[in-house]
């Protein structure tokens, strides 16, 4: 998943895509557009944010993992992840129109990869996700009255936890740590 640190590459890609449609923008103009897409007023602010992020990273640059969950129905997966959990579909890939789907969904900086490919993951996996306010998320989900999942919030020694199970037996434990 691309993030603000990929802004220059995103601007270059945008400029090329627009040029392919006979729309000419300077690199500077596309940098300003990308900054706006990240909710910032101008490129200089985004540039400073990129520089600060680079300074705070180690030489190795290990980042949080992206879990891959096996799915068997794109329709059911989108209903659960996008409709119920409130994630958005970021991108999807198929090698051709008759190939399995591989896609990314995300919400609030958390990304998941969903795959119909048999070798990518085993159904029944579990991801542990830290959240700031599990009760607020629980209230949001309860308000949707999703017929297949009615999660509850439980107290655990490490904090408040709400576990959801997707239609393919994959589990996500959202935890507000104590």
Q: How would you write the pLDDT of the chain (178 residues) with one tens digit per residue?
A: 556 667 777 788 888 888 888 988 888 888 888 888 878 888 888 788 877 776 666 678 788 899 999 999 999 999 999 999 999 999 999 999 999 999 999 999 899 999 999 889 998 999 999 999 999 999 999 999 899 999 999 999 999 999 999 999 999 999 999 7
Close Cβ partners of 18 (under 8 Å, ≥ 6 residues apart): 24, 25, 30
Instruction: Tally Cβ neighbours within 10 Å of residue 157.
Output: 5
How many structural domains are present in the chain?
2
pLDDT of residue 104: 96
Residue 32 lies in a domain: yes
CATH code: domain of residue 156:
3.10.180.10
pLDDT of residue 3: 65
Over residues 17-32, the pLDDT tens digits come to 888 889 888 888 888 8
Q: Which domain holds residue 48?
A: 4-55
Residue 61 lies in a domain: no
20, 82: one domain: no
Backbone phi, then psi, for 33, in 5-degree steps? -65, -45
Residue 109's nearest CA partner among 33, 38, 21 is 38
Backbone phi, then psi, for 84, in 5-degree steps? -85, -55
Close Cβ partners of 162 (under 8 Å, ≥ 6 residues apart): 134, 137, 138, 141, 151, 152, 153, 154, 173, 174, 175
């Amino acid at each position: 998943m691309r993030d603000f640190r990929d802004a220059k590459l995103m601007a270059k890609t945008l400029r090329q895509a627009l040029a392919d449609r006979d729309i000419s923008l300077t690199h500077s103009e596309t940098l300003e557009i990308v900054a706006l897409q990240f909710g910032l007023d101008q490129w200089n602010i985004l540039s400073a944010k990129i520089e600060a992020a680079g300074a705070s990273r180690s030489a190795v640059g290990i980042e949080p993992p992206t879990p891959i969950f096996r799915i068997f129905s794109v329709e059911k997966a989108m209903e659960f992840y996008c409709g119920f959990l409130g994630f958005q579909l970021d991108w999807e890939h198929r090698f051709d129109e008759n190939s399995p789907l591989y896609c990314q969904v995300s919400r609030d900086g958390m990304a998941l990869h969903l795959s119909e490919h048999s070798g990518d993951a085993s159904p029944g996996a579990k991801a542990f996700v830290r959240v700031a306010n599990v009760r607020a998320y629980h209230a949001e989900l309860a308000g949707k009255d999703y017929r297949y999942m009615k999660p509850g919030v439980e107290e655990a020694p490490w904090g408040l936890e709400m576990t959801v199970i997707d239609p393919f037996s994959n589990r996500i434990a959202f935890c507000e740590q104590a």
